[in-house]
Amino acid sequence: MVKQTIQIFARVKPTVRKQQQGIYSIDEDEKLTPSLEIILPRDLADGFVNNKRESYRFKFQRIFDQNEKQETIFENIAKPVAESVLAGYNGTIFAYGQTGSGKTFTITGGAERYSDRGIIPRTLSYIFEQLQKDSSKIYTTHISYLEIYNECGYDLLDPRHEASSLEDLPKVTVLEDPDQNIHLKNLSLHQATTEEEALNLLFLGDTNRMIAETPMNQASTRSHCIFTIHLSSKEPGSATVRQAKLHLVDLAGSERVAKTGVGGQLLTEAKYINLSLHYLEQVIIALSEKHRSHIPYRNSMMTSVLRDSLGGNCMTTMIATLSLEKRNIDESISTCRFAQRVALIKNEAVLNEEIDPRLMIIRLQKEIQELKDELAIVTGEQRTEALTEAELLQLEKRITSFLEDQHPESKLEVGADMRKIHHCFHYLKKLLNDKNIHGTSIASSEIKDHNSQEPLKEEEYKKLRDILQQRDNEINILVTMLKKEKKKAQDALHFSSMDRSELRRSQSSPFPPGNPEGPRMLPPSAPTQAPDSSTSQYRSSLLHGKTGMREEMSLGRQEAFEIFKRDHADSVTIEDNKQILKQRFSEAKALGESINEARVKIGRLKEEITQRHVQQVALGISENTPVPSTPDLLEEKLRSQLQEEKRRYKAMFTHLKALKVEIEHLQLLMDKAKVKLQKEFEAWWAEEATSLQVNSPAVNSLNHMKPFPQTPESQHERSQLLSSKSDVYARKILPLPGPLLHSQEQSSPSIPLEDRIPERPVSSVPLTGDSQTDSDILAFVKARQSILQRTGFQ
């Protein structure tokens, strides 16, 4: 049993504005616990009633400042928890902080770069790597992904997500058994045998969550997401199974509604917007008070699900995410205060071991048989009929495995049946006689040494040949996969650069099947997967089916989508990722070729060693001299070359595997970005269509046209860009880099000449008479005019 208080860490999100920096300081004295000091700016300090303090100091296990990388966060926070989960203890990591402070970035990761991947993908990678290394146990991994919104649980991996909205799905409910263990009804568990499968599940859940979100429910800030890795391990032959769960939790935004007192002053008492967080705080307060016997876990779904993680059988870690800007000071102080209380909670983690009932049954059956046999001997009831063919065969098999078993205490179990005992003796006698005859003949031969050595070598060669064959197969699968993937990426590139008039003719959806968005090949390990893990196909069908993106799109709408896509900030990310992906493909291809070369070389070296050896033996026979027991110089040299080549091969193979994971991750990021793009387009389109109807017939007036929607975040970023011109943000905001036309129009990114859209007055648009198509065409014309306006070409 391990007793431990909940570990608390703080992570400060990078601020863009430099002047914010004097707002906090980090004190990291080697000997003391690090502390974070939040300094209230003068004008704000006056606003707090009963509060003349100018600064607040909070202690944390460790504080990660703005520039700390995702890798550092994983190494320091998540890796120790993952290790204890591998050892059989439950673990939980939860991120707490106001909306926009970096919870999702920390737990799941950023949507742009591979290096931005967060705790979940890194933990999955680490766990699967460790499982592969440890062959002493049999491991099984399952994944579940739960979203709690408005006190209701939803299964983010439920296949029915495809057909329904969040509210129509069966609710996940909490059940408590007589031992007060919590069970979640309707939450599906998906087996993942590889890192890729687990990663697919993560992205599938995230995409489901994004699709289910509407501006009304604001699921991403108001809901809690619990990604759980269920790990069970067992030593071969043992009946004891160890079960451990790792919850990775992205909580809802912790922002509160502040009560405003007379004169607009802020009162320090503020309420959570989110009821679950209110209950979470109550549970934490109760747990941190020494003499409280009742802990109100049952008040909310989230506290019930996380019951073990809070004051129970779990190693728990909290990450307080802070966005330390002036306007967020009070929220940041609340987050730190919450963390201080959490730090008082003590947990007791125990190893979760239980007996596997199936193995127990086998063990008991064996025991019964032994007892029956013993009884038969004691009562003298011996069977006399001859043993059947099957019984004889089974007996001989047992004798063979008994003889092969090197363990000094191995037993030959035949039961108390005298017929079987007799047969065993006969069989052993026969074997012994055969061996004696064989043994004498060999002893008289001069090549005894050679023969006693040879079987060993034969065995070694066979093993190497098998391994080689396996690797060959793996490489073939990988190379085929890479070829297909490359072709898809090229198709996608080709598609995006296709002439727009051609696009008009092609009448296809913006993401036709066959693009990287289309059904993707399963990872190479697919044939060994569990039946429920065909998530890639499921995911891609979901990505197509769910967004309301119809296969048959009218021309105008298609064109508008193209423009929308090109103008959208995310398309830069998609393009960037495409380029990186292309690079990775060629790297993987080159590596694949080098691996093939190394493989051929290994084969050649082995051949040479065998030949050399055969030569030596032949020489020995012809000259009637015994073959030297150690290989000669040349053979030794060949062997060391072989070793070296194998090492190289292995290193390249490992690298190729890592590349494969990166490629998969980038593709998933792209998929997600595209679904988001489609979703935003649909919303914008619907809004435009409505406003078109409302304003009809005055369609010539463009004043009511809304610009393409921008998230508050990106608007914020845009204004930040204008003041700071930070490179990082510039990438996101300037989708079409090029020289600015007019210096006073800095807010309008200019378009390269070839992409300019010719002006087309609404009156010259040929209408078809079909109302749906016509409204599409008009909307499209307006869309391009809106873009022209925004980009300074009109």
Residue 614 CA, chain-centre distance (Å), reads 51
Toward ligand ADP, which CB reaches closer, 13 or 539? Answer: 13
Distances (CA, A) of 621 to 448, 451, 577, 613, 696: 12, 12, 65, 12, 103
Bridge partners, residue 229, by sequence: 143, 246
Could you say which residues in the range 640-699 bind Mg ion, by CB under 5 A? none
Quickly list DSSP for 562-608: HHHHHHSHHHHHHHHHHHHHHHHHHHHHHHHHHHHHHHHHHHHHHHH
Q: Based on the shown chain and the rule CB under 6 A, indicate whether residue 99 belongs to the binding site for ligand ADP.
A: yes
Could you say which residues in the range 250-269 bind ligand ADP, by CB under 6 A? 253
Which one of 103-111, 162-170, 235-243, 337-345 is the stretch in contact with ligand ADP (CB under 6 A)?
A: 103-111
Q: Based on the shown chain and the rule CB under 6 A, indicate whether residue 100 belongs to the binding site for ligand ADP.
A: yes
> Residue 493 in contact with residue 585, Cβ under 8 Å?
no
Helix (H) or strand (E) holding 780: helix 771-790
Taking residues 690 to 729 in sequence order and writing x for each that binds ligand ADP by CB under 6 A, - otherwise, the string is -----------------------x----------------
Which one of 97-105, 298-306, 348-356, 472-480 is the stretch in contact with ligand ADP (CB under 6 A)?
A: 97-105
Rounded Cα distance between 419 and 209, Å, is: 67
Instruction: For the CB of residue 316, give the shortest distance to ligand ADP in the complex, in Å.
Output: 19
Rounded to 5°, the CA angle 342-346-347 comes to 110
Return the axis-axis angle of helices 329-342 and 275-288, rounded to nearest 10°: 40
Instruction: For the CB of residue 99, give the shortest distance to Mg ion in the complex, in Å.
Output: 7
Q: Which residue is nearest to Mg ion (CB)?
A: 104
Bridge partners, residue 26, by sequence: 36
Taking residues 305 to 344 in sequence order and writing x for each that binds ligand ADP by CB under 6 A, - otherwise, the string is ----------------x-----------------------
Could you say which residues in the range 7-26 bind ligand ADP, by CB under 6 A? 13-14
Q: Which residue is nearest to ligand ADP (CB)?
A: 102
**Partner that binds at residue 524, options Mg ion, ligand ADP, none, CB closer than 5 to 8 Å by kind:** none
Toward Mg ion, which CB reaches closer, 103 or 230? Answer: 103
> Residue 671 in contact with residue 207, Cβ under 8 Å?
yes
Instruction: For the CB of residue 760, give the shortest distance to ligand ADP in the complex, in Å.
Output: 36
Q: Single out the residue of 88, 97, 121, 312 in contact with ligand ADP (rule: CB under 6 A).
A: 97
Rounded Cα distance between 626 and 635, Å, is: 17
Could you say which residues in the range 83-122 bind Mg ion, by CB under 5 A? 103-104
Q: Based on the shown chain and the rule CB under 6 A, indicate whether residue 222 belongs to the binding site for ligand ADP.
A: no
Q: Based on the shown chain and the rule CB under 6 A, indicate whether residue 102 belongs to the binding site for ligand ADP.
A: yes
Return the axis-axis angle of helices 569-622 and 633-695, rounded to nearest 10°: 160
Instruction: For the CB of residue 253, give the shortest distance to Mg ion in the complex, in Å.
Output: 7
**Partner that binds at residue 509, options Mg ion, ligand ADP, none, CB closer than 5 to 8 Å by kind:** none
Rounded Cα distance between 363 and 371, Å, is: 13
**Partner that binds at residue 556, options ligand ADP, Mg ion, none, CB closer than 5 to 8 Å by kind:** none
Rounded Cα distance between 39 and 21, Å, is: 10
**Partner that binds at residue 105, options ligand ADP, Mg ion, none, CB closer than 5 to 8 Å by kind:** ligand ADP
Instruction: For the CB of residue 107, give the shortest distance to ligand ADP in the complex, in Å.
Output: 8
- Rg (C-alpha) for the chain, rounded Å, is 34
Q: Based on the shown chain and the rule CB under 6 A, indicate whether residue 512 belongs to the binding site for ligand ADP.
A: no
Counting residues that bind ligand ADP (by CB under 6 A) gives 15
173-176 and 152-155 as β-strands: parallel, antiparallel, unpaired? unpaired
Cβ burial of 111 (10 Å; 0-12, 13-18, 19+) is middle
Rounded Cα distance between 558 and 535, Å, is: 29
Largest Cα–Cα separation, the chain? 112
Toward ligand ADP, which CB reaches closer, 90 or 98? Answer: 98
Phi-psi domain of 558 (left: phi exceeds 0; alpha: psi -120 through 50; beta: other): alpha
**Partner that binds at residue 140, options Mg ion, ligand ADP, none, CB closer than 5 to 8 Å by kind:** none
Tokens for 710?
């921008």
Toward Mg ion, which CB reaches closer, 295 or 306? Answer: 306
> Residue 489 in contact with residue 585, Cβ under 8 Å?
yes
Instruction: For the CB of residue 104, give the shortest distance to Mg ion in the complex, in Å.
Output: 3
**Partner that binds at residue 707, options ligand ADP, Mg ion, none, CB closer than 5 to 8 Å by kind:** none
DSSP 117: B
Instruction: For the CB of residue 103, give the shortest distance to Mg ion in the complex, in Å.
Output: 5
Rounded Cα distance between 368 and 731, Å, is: 73
**Partner that binds at residue 321, options Mg ion, ligand ADP, none, CB closer than 5 to 8 Å by kind:** ligand ADP
Q: Based on the shown chain and the rule CB under 6 A, indicate whether residue 103 belongs to the binding site for ligand ADP.
A: yes
Q: Based on the shown chain and the rule CB under 6 A, indicate whether residue 515 belongs to the binding site for ligand ADP.
A: no
Toward ligand ADP, which CB reaches closer, 127 or 319? Answer: 319
Q: Which residues contact 100 (CB under 8 A, 6 or more apart)?
A: 13, 253, 323, 713
Could you say which residues in the range 160-189 bind Mg ion, by CB under 5 A? none
Which one of 100-108, 367-375, 576-584, 684-692 is the stretch in contact with ligand ADP (CB under 6 A)?
A: 100-108
Side-chain half-sphere exposure of 660, counting CA atoms within 13 A? 27
Q: Single out the residue of 104, 200, 317, 535 in contact with ligand ADP (rule: CB under 6 A).
A: 104
Which one of 104-112, 167-175, 206-214, 747-755 is the stretch in contact with ligand ADP (CB under 6 A)?
A: 104-112
The residues that touch Mg ion, with contacts defined as CB under 5 A, are 103-104
Which residues form the interface with ligand ADP (CB under 6 A)?
A: 13-14, 97, 99-105, 110, 221, 253, 321, 713
